[in-house]
Structure 1
Amino acid sequence: MKKSNRKLPRAALSLMLVMGLILPSPGWLAPVHVKAANNDNPPFKIDLTGIFVTPATGSNSSVIGGNIVQVTPNTTNQKGGIWSTEANKMDLTKDFKASMYIYFGDRGANAADGMAFVMHNDSRGTNAISPHSGSGLGVYAGQTHGSSKTDGIQKSFAVEFDTFINNNVNDGYFDTNTTKGAHVAWSYPGQAETYIDYYTSFQHRRTMKHNNIDGPNNGAQYPGNLSNDTWRKFTINWNATTSTLTYQLEGLSSVSIPINVQDIFGADQVYWGFTGSTGSRYQNNRVAFEEVPGLVNAEVKETITRKDGVVVDNGALANNGEELTYTINAKYLSGKQDWTDIIVKTVLNDHVSYVPGSMAISSGDGSGELDDSFWTGQSLAASIPNMNTNRNDVTISFKVKVNQVKVNTPVTETVKFEGSNYITNTHPVDYVIQANNVPEVTINEKGPIHLAVGEDYQAKGTWKDSDDSTNTLYYDLNGEF
């Protein structure tokens, strides 16, 4: 192609130079970080003051606003680790639960590398962190063939949320057996047996076991795009009797793993937290909590009863005009903190109406009425006292009237307890509001019945109205009601 040597006028050249000094650089000269819509807005977040600490060196993690853990910021070549304090270790001799929401940014297919939930008894304690970012996720040994297999976090268990597949000469071969995409799997990062060095196609490679299994059928879970500006609920349950940990990421099946505590951790008390990393690609890794293990242990329950005390649940029928009593109870069992700033929240189904003036509260301090100002339409949001081992039982009750429905209508009621350091829900209560039924009238004698003029007749039979327990009959005879 012929080259053009067209000259620009001096004035035009000067204008271009001035504009170049005034205007900012075009976007393609540097990465542009756009704040995601849900970045700071998890569904729930409790106060994390005094719960976590970061390693003295090597970690880019922090706690934002006192209630969101940022494992890695939304930029390249970051590595994070954040751990429970000594006072907030997990006690593996006792059952516990944890409930949280995790966030992987909004980078889509450009996200990397992910994060991991980790339990450990590494001798470095709260300073434990792997030297490896990228595929190492801040917890694993390196992915280079022949390198150390024990420089990851020792005496550990991890659930990884891996958003980038490492399966080529440039990115390494850690994920050779999970090439379907972003995946969730568990492993033992501190064990040398987790890492497999091998030689193929004139290359030395290292892969790692997912779910402690080598090979493509290792049971890793594939949730699809994780980095789509979505907070996903993640729960953990520990059964001390069976020494089994069960976890579940929203949208996936639960996974249960028997763990030999002494073999893996060598102790009953372990640190727990998150690690994560980015590389040449990046994402924002964040966590917000509903329930921190062992911080507050409580039971909450909702019971719905008829006037005669019979419990309404499991599909039981309720009738038009019937009055039901809703009883909401919380019991504080134990914990490292008092349960504080508790708000009881519920939204009644659309087919019942709150009975004004019927709400009451009882606790160790006595009983009393609650003001109807806690209600907005069908929604209740009522404060209850802080709970601890002294004030350990609080009950709220109120009445509702069942409204008329045209067809049998199943309804479900649940209650959320939102405290500053613990959030939990009651189990759902399910019942059916029964449609109004035509009264059933049965005459004992079979017709037709023939009467002579002036002859009296007394009809005998039954009357049943399932919508009216009083069974009152109104009739009109010869114009008289």
Structure 2
Amino acid sequence: MKKFGIIRWGYVFFFSILLLCGKQEIVHAAVSAPDFPTLAIDDSLITPVGQAGSPQGEPGVNYVQINDGATTNSSGGVWFNKPVSFTRSFRLEMAFCIDNTATDSDGLAFVMQSSGLNALAEQAGPTIGVWSNTGGTTPLSTGAIPQSFAIEFDTFYNNAGLTGDGMMDRDVPSGHHIAWNFPGSNDAYTTDGWLIIDKVLNHRDTVSVPDISDGQWHIFTVVFDQPTQTLRYTVPDFGVDVTVPVDDTFKSNLNLTNSAPVYFGFTGANGGYVQEKAVAFVDVEGLVELDMRTGVFEKDPVKLLLDTGTTLAQPATVDNSKTITYATYLSYKSTSDLADLESGILLSSLFPEGLSLVPEAVYFGKASEIMVNGMPEGGTALPFAIENGQLVVTLPDMVKGNEYIVHFSVNYTEAPLDQNLDVAIPVQTVFNGNAFVSSMTSGDPETHYYQMTGSFPPTLSTGSASLAEAKADLQIVRQKRNSYIPITIVDQNSTQAKIYVTDFFTEDKTITETDFSEAALVERGTLSEPLSDTLALDTSDLEPGTTYYLASYVIDTEGNRSATRYYGIDFRGIVVFERAPASINAAAVTLNELARSIRDDGFAYLTISFDQEALLSVSNTSEGTWQLSGQIKDFMQEQQLLAEEIHLVLYDPVTNQLVASVTSEEQVIFQQEPTGATDLTLDLQEYDCYFRFVPKLDLILPGTYTGTVNWLLESTIINE
């Protein structure tokens, strides 16, 4: 009876506690989205079980709630659909958040298991969705997720068997803690109690934590290092850093010995209270085994400049006139767990200023299909962008067991102001990865670069390349005129250039470097202005009827020299009215003398005299002919005419024949003869020269009458 009474009292107390628990107020709160980037998780990437919900948040800031905010004594879980393999290293970066409620209940666990995507422990608080149930002893692991490894983040201290909470945490200090074990193994548990037999979890590497359920997101990483066969997990916010040996026990518990796929994810549970718990997947690396390296080639002929997979002792040097090809090699290993990578991964290549796409395309294809004679050719054109010094493309689908090439060709077009080019071009390629493949970087700008050198010599765009071409494009220059040679200089980066020219030379002369001398310095304020000048060259020593040449080159600010150009001139003569008497005078006469000078023809003849020389001359060194016209303007004194018309006449003193007559009407008085001299030289003093006119004797007033003689020289030269 006593024993019965004791047992009865115990049950009464037990039910009383449950009643009290049922009256506790349930506090509802919400978990906020992470404030850091996450994987863009959707229903195709995860499988929720139990009370877990669907992905929430915006793309790239996603999370999953594994317990709802209303159901007590329930569990939930979420599994990443792609399994990991312990045949290679991997890294999982995740985050968790447990709501900061008035009463904790019960925690969550990171779990790796090979039992499938529907795995979940018995839905009760102390199991946290992964451990064995609290009661029963045969076997101890009853109700747990079999073939599993779990790291628990426990927020409720279970050490009161009679209350129904069980004694899972009996052997650890009270409070929040983080520990691990194998939930599906009997070795993970012992038993306790004489009235009610409860299970005790054998916690491993227990770390006590002040408050896991603080409503904050905490980063959690799991890294498997294949060479050392260790699995390390860390929670930096709580100072947790634990290494677990991946030994035979570990492999046996996860069924790794049978190469079973291992899924990872989280489970969580509410006990007698509700407390929201959420997880996020930040990065998952290691499902794909992929190699990457970038080669840089000079074309025509093909020459490897660098390979990001190796470090060259001496950087290669290439001239800026060469076309450069970048080819990134991607080997998607057949040993990868993931059969294919969907499109969307970004591949970025350093793209310094000065590089330009030639042509404007980036190509992608299988190496076996586009490699021709050691160089990639063609493929599928991919859209690309130049962003912050990077050429960025989005890769299409890739299937394991294949090798791919991404390639493009560039030229270096930038020219430093007033300097020759000598610049290091760094090479680095970044594979940004996704939820299944690690991000990778190939190449280091400090060690992987090639040296781009080059000069930008000036070019004379005027003139001809040879004497023969210059002869076919002669500039006609007339005697007694300067030769004007236009100089136009094409130069990409110089603010000034010196022009060097020779003297004029004929075709039979061979010019040497010593024949050139600096003729001008041409400057410009900005590169948008042209470099140009016009050389005014003296031709006084040249002979008419001869073809002359001039050679020229320019040297820019950097000391680069242009090719020599040639200019030709057809130096021709001209027709020149050299001279005429400065003044032509008649003697002063009285009216009686004037009357006596009148001859039988009715004209008065006044003999002409000259103050100085009386030469009338025309010179002609040209290929044309000429004629000289004359015209007399009225001889007057204060509006008083000397005569109606006055003629200037020249008679041959021997034959007394009229040689020339200049009247008020413009008329040709001399012209070039068809044969003989092309010049005219006439000394008027060798002729009998008169003013001939009919005087107005009744009107003439005493005084000096003056007039003018206009001379007009015309030639048949038409191409002046």
- Find 2:109's aligned residue among 111, 116, 129: 116
1:82 Cα deviation from its structure 2 partner: 4.2
Partner secondary structure for residue 374 of structure 1: strand
Cα separation, 2, equivalents of 1:248 and 1:413: 31
Structure 1 letter corresponding to 2:184: G
1:130 Cα deviation from its structure 2 partner: 1.9
Residue 284 (1) aligns with residue 271 (2): no
Structure 1 letter corresponding to 2:39: F
1:427 Cα deviation from its structure 2 partner: 4.1
Q: Is the 8 A contact 1:146 1:197 kept in 2?
A: yes
Partner secondary structure for residue 233 of structure 2: strand
1:110 Cα deviation from its structure 2 partner: 5.9
Q: Is the 8 A contact 2:292 2:330 kept in 1?
A: yes
Cα separation, 1, equivalents of 2:314 and 2:104: 51
Residue 174 (1) aligns with residue 168 (2): yes
Matched with 2:245 is: 257
**Higher Cα Rg: structure 1 or 2?**
2
Change beyond 3 A, Cα 1:390–1:203: closer
Change beyond 3 A, Cα 1:29–1:326: farther
Matched with 2:343 is: 341
Q: String of CA shifts for 1:355-376, please: whole Å, max 9, x gaps.
A: 2326744422534597895123
1:187 Cα deviation from its structure 2 partner: 0.6
- Find 1:424's aligned residue among 414, 438, 454: 438
More RCO (CA 8 Å, sep 6+): 1
Matched with 1:72 is: 67
Q: String of CA shifts for 1:105-131, please: whole Å, max 9, x gaps.
A: 453886543322334455xx5554322
Residue 331 (1) aligns with residue 328 (2): no
Matched with 2:142 is: 151
Matched with 2:394 is: 383
1:189 Cα deviation from its structure 2 partner: 1.1
Cα separation, 2, equivalents of 1:414 and 1:114: 42
Aligned pairs for 1:75-86 within 5 A: 75-77=70-72, 78-83=74-79
Cα separation, 2, equivalents of 1:220 and 1:250: 11
Q: Is the 8 A contact 1:63 1:70 kept in 2?
A: yes
Cα separation, 1, equivalents of 2:121 and 2:111: 12
Change beyond 3 A, Cα 1:47–1:263: same
Cα separation, 2, equivalents of 1:429 and 1:180: 51
Change beyond 3 A, Cα 1:398–1:99: farther
- Find 1:192's aligned residue among 186, 191, 215: 186
Partner secondary structure for residue 140 of structure 2: coil
Partner secondary structure for residue 207 of structure 1: strand
Aligned pairs for 1:116-135 within 5 A: 116-120=109-113, 126-135=117-126
Where does structure 1 lack aligned partners over 5 or more consecutive residues?
1-27, 212-217, 405-410, 434-472, 476-481
Aligned pairs for 1:356-435 within 5 A: 356-357=356-357, 360-364=362-366, 366=370, 367-368=377-378, 374-389=385-400, 392-396=403-407, 415-418=430-433, 422-427=436-441, 429-432=443-446
Structure 2 letter corresponding to 1:197: T
Residue 207 (1) aligns with residue 192 (2): no
Give the TM-score of the pair, scaled to structure 1: 0.59
Structure 2 letter corresponding to 1:44: L
Matched with 2:615 is: none
Partner secondary structure for residue 132 of structure 2: coil
Q: Is the 8 A contact 1:316 1:432 kept in 2?
A: no
Structure 2 letter corresponding to 1:276: G
**When you count strand as a share of all residues, which structure comes out higher?**
2
Change beyond 3 A, Cα 1:302–1:268: closer
Cα separation, 2, equivalents of 1:144 and 1:354: 73
1:103 Cα deviation from its structure 2 partner: 2.5
Partner secondary structure for residue 104 of structure 1: strand
Cα separation, 2, equivalents of 1:432 and 1:91: 35
Q: String of CA shifts for 1:318-350, please: whole Å, max 9, x gaps.
A: 99x99999764432223554211133154969x
- Find 1:97's aligned residue among 71, 90, 101: 90
Q: Is the 8 A contact 2:155 2:212 kept in 1?
A: no
Aligned pairs for 1:225-264 within 5 A: 225=212, 228-230=215-217, 232=219, 234-237=221-224, 239=226, 244=229, 246-249=231-234, 251=236, 253=241, 255-260=243-248, 263-264=252-253
Cα separation, 2, equivalents of 1:271 and 1:397: 40
Identity percentage of aligned residues: 16
1:190 Cα deviation from its structure 2 partner: 2.0
Structure 1 letter corresponding to 2:133: G
Matched with 1:45 is: 40
Structure 1 letter corresponding to 2:253: I
Cα separation, 1, equivalents of 2:155 and 2:203: 15
Cα separation, 1, equivalents of 2:188 and 2:43: 33
Q: String of CA shifts for 1:282-313, please: whole Å, max 9, x gaps.
A: 1322243644875xx24153558798735678
CA RMSD of aligned residues (A): 5.3
Residue 141 (1) aligns with residue 156 (2): no
1:425 Cα deviation from its structure 2 partner: 0.6
Cα separation, 1, equivalents of 2:142 and 2:158: 22
Partner secondary structure for residue 179 of structure 2: strand
Structure 2 letter corresponding to 1:189: P
Q: String of CA shifts for 1:154-187, please: whole Å, max 9, x gaps.
A: 5423232414141553655433555486544321
1:79 Cα deviation from its structure 2 partner: 0.5
Change beyond 3 A, Cα 1:386–1:225: same
- How many correspondences in the alignment? 381
Partner secondary structure for residue 32 of structure 2: coil
Cα separation, 1, equivalents of 2:311 and 2:102: 45
Q: Is the 8 A contact 1:72 1:286 kept in 2?
A: no
Cα separation, 1, equivalents of 2:312 and 2:430: 18
Name the stretch that deviates more: 391-400 or 328-337: 391-400
Change beyond 3 A, Cα 1:360–1:263: closer
Cα separation, 2, equivalents of 1:249 and 1:316: 40
Cα separation, 2, equivalents of 1:398 and 1:256: 49
Cα separation, 2, equivalents of 1:377 and 1:31: 49
Q: String of CA shifts for 1:20-44, please: whole Å, max 9, x gaps.
A: xxxxxxxx987443451428x7522
Partner secondary structure for residue 333 of structure 2: strand
Structure 1 letter corresponding to 2:153: D
Structure 2 letter corresponding to 1:149: L
1:426 Cα deviation from its structure 2 partner: 0.6
Q: Is the 8 A contact 1:342 1:383 kept in 2?
A: yes
1:415 Cα deviation from its structure 2 partner: 2.2
Cα separation, 2, equivalents of 1:390 and 1:227: 46
Q: String of CA shifts for 1:86-141, please: whole Å, max 9, x gaps.
A: xx66666x43636352322453886543322334455xx55543224323111112
Structure 2 letter corresponding to 1:363: G
Partner secondary structure for residue 356 of structure 2: coil
Q: Is the 8 A contact 2:365 2:405 kept in 1?
A: yes
Q: String of CA shifts for 1:360-407, please: whole Å, max 9, x gaps.
A: 4442253459789512333554112211147532335677999x9xxx
